[in-house]
Amino acid sequence: MQKRAVTGTDIGRAARLLKADEIVAIPTETVYGLAANALHEDAVLKIFKAKNRPFFDPLIIHISNAAEIEKYVLDVPEKAKLLMEHFWPGPLTLVLPKKDIIPDLVTSGHPTVAVRMPDHPLTLQLLTCLEFPLAAPSANPFGYVSPTTAKHVYDQLGDELSYILDGGPCKIGLESTIIGFDGNEAQVLRLGGISLEEIENVAGKVTLQLNQASRPDAPGQLSSHYAPGKPLFFGDIKELLKTHQKEKTGIITFSSDFKSSLPTIARQWILSPHKDLNEAAKNLFHVLRETDTADIDVILAEKMPEAGLGRAINDRLLRASVR
Ligand code: TXA
Ligand code: MG
């Protein structure tokens, strides 16, 4: 059935809607975002409603050049400046003490705001047409897998908004890495599109504060998140297969082929035939969506190597899994 949303590449149309406090889906290099004027509570409220997102889960604001950050945060530590210089535009979000201009709704009442400069030509161009930053969470219903194509957004939120700016498939495919600061010390709050190794090359040793349910200030880190519609088990495929012999099983692997030797496996998705963790990251969310309509009852997902983007992929698979 036809949904309300129109998909296209008309930046002028997207800008007009955003200036009128409407929500618009926007492409980024990580995942598609559901955007609104970050400085208007009425506009931001529409994001929470469309996603069915709880108000305790704060949003990231998106800007089109690094210097703009000064308008929205009280202080930028030296390490944050270094990270911005290296990784912006790109999949890195910085959490810093906010100025009053940022509504409490955006930050869920926290004294800090999350900021990033996305690396996508259409969205950067759109931002330069606007006099305000865009608050944008991933454009999926709360708790579900993030969208990496305009069609993913249309399929799930097509009746909740009127325009989807189509920037093609997302080139990273995983959400941004989120970094907070304790003084000048950098803390990773969410693993994402920039690896720990890359961050540490620039900022030195960082601490991992990957928020669990006991630390609700980064609720995107809620334990059950990124979940597809079917039960997903995560770990060593051979071990998992021992306990899932009777079910119609779909497996997600990094690079190995199990199905050729085990024809009882109903479906197999190989995330990266080239053993490339970046390629695996790019394919992950698309594959998780495919499992929803595939003729299988359970998903068994293989643990990736704990290096590069493998860590962030493992983080998402663990959160998507039945434990
Ligand atoms: O790549 C991305 O980051 C994408 C694209 C659209 O930019 N956005 C995204 O947003 O993943 P979302 O809403 O799905 O995740 C944002 C997460 C929150 O769930 C929370 O964990 C963290 O950012 N966050 C936001 N503001 C925060 C704050 N003030 N303190 C700590 N964590 C915060
Ligand atoms: Mg999200």
> Which protein residues have their CB within 5 A of the ion that is ligand 2?
138
Q: Are residues 43 and 149 in contact, defined by beta-carbon separation less than 8 angstroms?
A: no
Q: How many CB atoms lie within 10 A of CB 272?
A: 18
Q: What percent of the chain has pLDDT over 70?
A: 96
pLDDT digits (tens, 9 = 90+) for 158-173: 999 999 999 999 999 9
Residue with tokens 């597809």: 228
Kindly give the number of the ligand 1 atom that is closest to the alpha carbon of 139. Answer: 6
Q: How confident is the model at residue 303 (pLDDT cuts 50, 70, 90)?
A: very high
pLDDT tops 80 at residue 261: yes
Please name the residue that has the structure tokens 């930050």. Answer: 107
Report the nearest atom of ligand 1 relative to the CA of 106: 26
- CB proximity list for 283: less than 8 A, separation 6 or greater: 173, 269, 271, 272
pLDDT-derived band at 118, boundaries 50, 70, 90: very high
Name the closest ligand to CA 142.
Answer: 2
Taking the CA of residue 93 as reference, the ligand 1 atom at the shortest distance is 3
The Cα 263–Cα 309 span in angstroms is 30
Residue 91 — very low, low, confident or very high, per pLDDT cuts 50/70/90? very high
12-45 confidence digits (pLDDT tens)? 999 999 999 999 999 999 999 999 999 999 999 9
Regarding the beta carbon of 138 and ligand 1, being less than 6 Å apart is answered yes
Tokens describing residue 309: 């983007």
Q: Which of 134-138, 140-144, 243-247, 263-267 has the highest mean pLDDT?
A: 134-138
pLDDT tens digit string along 44-56?
999 999 999 999 9
Q: Is the pLDDT of residue 83 over 90?
A: yes
Cβ of 178 less than 6 Å from ligand 1: yes
Residue 148 has pLDDT above 50, yes or no: yes
Indicate whether residue 218 lines ligand 1 (CB < 6 A): yes
Average pLDDT for the chain: 95
The fraction of the chain above a pLDDT of 90, given in percent, is 91
Q: What is the pLDDT of residue 51?
A: 97
189 within 8 A of 179, measured Cβ to Cβ: yes
Flag the least confident range among 48-52, 61-65, 260-264.
260-264
The DSSP 8-state label assigned to residue 175 in this structure reads: P
pLDDT at position 222, please? 58
* Per-residue model confidence as pLDDT tens digits over 270-286: 999 999 999 999 999 99
* Ligand 2 centroid to residue 208 C-alpha, Å: 19
Quick one: which ligand is closest to 140's CA?
A: 2
Cβ neighbours, 10 Å, residue 253:
20
Binned at pLDDT 50, 70 and 90, residue 140 comes out as very high
Q: Measured in angstroms, how far is the CA atom of residue 305 from the centroid of ligand 1?
A: 25
Residue 323's pLDDT is what? 74
CB of residue 175 inside a 6 A radius of ligand 1 = yes
Confidence of residue 228 (pLDDT cuts 50, 70, 90): confident
Q: What is the mean pLDDT of residues 193-200?
A: 98
**pLDDT value for 214:** 40
Give Cα separations from 11 to 23, 150, 151 (angstroms).
14, 15, 18
Ligand 1 pocket, residue 29 CB under 6 Å: no
**Is the separation of the CB atoms in 163 and 23 below 8 Å?**
no
Q: Is the pLDDT of residue 212 over 90?
A: no
Q: Which helix (H) or strand (E) holds 209?
A: none
The reported pLDDT for the residue numbered 85 is 98
Sheet with 207-208, side-by-side order of all strands: 6-8, 163-165, 24-26, 33-37, 134-135, 60-62, 112-116, 92-97, 177-182, 185-190, 207-208
Pairing mode, strands 177-182 and 185-190:
antiparallel
Please tell me the distance from the alpha carbon of residue 37 to that of residue 67, in angstroms, as a whole number.
19
Question: How far is the C-alpha of 141 from the C-alpha of 139, rounded, in Å?
Answer: 7
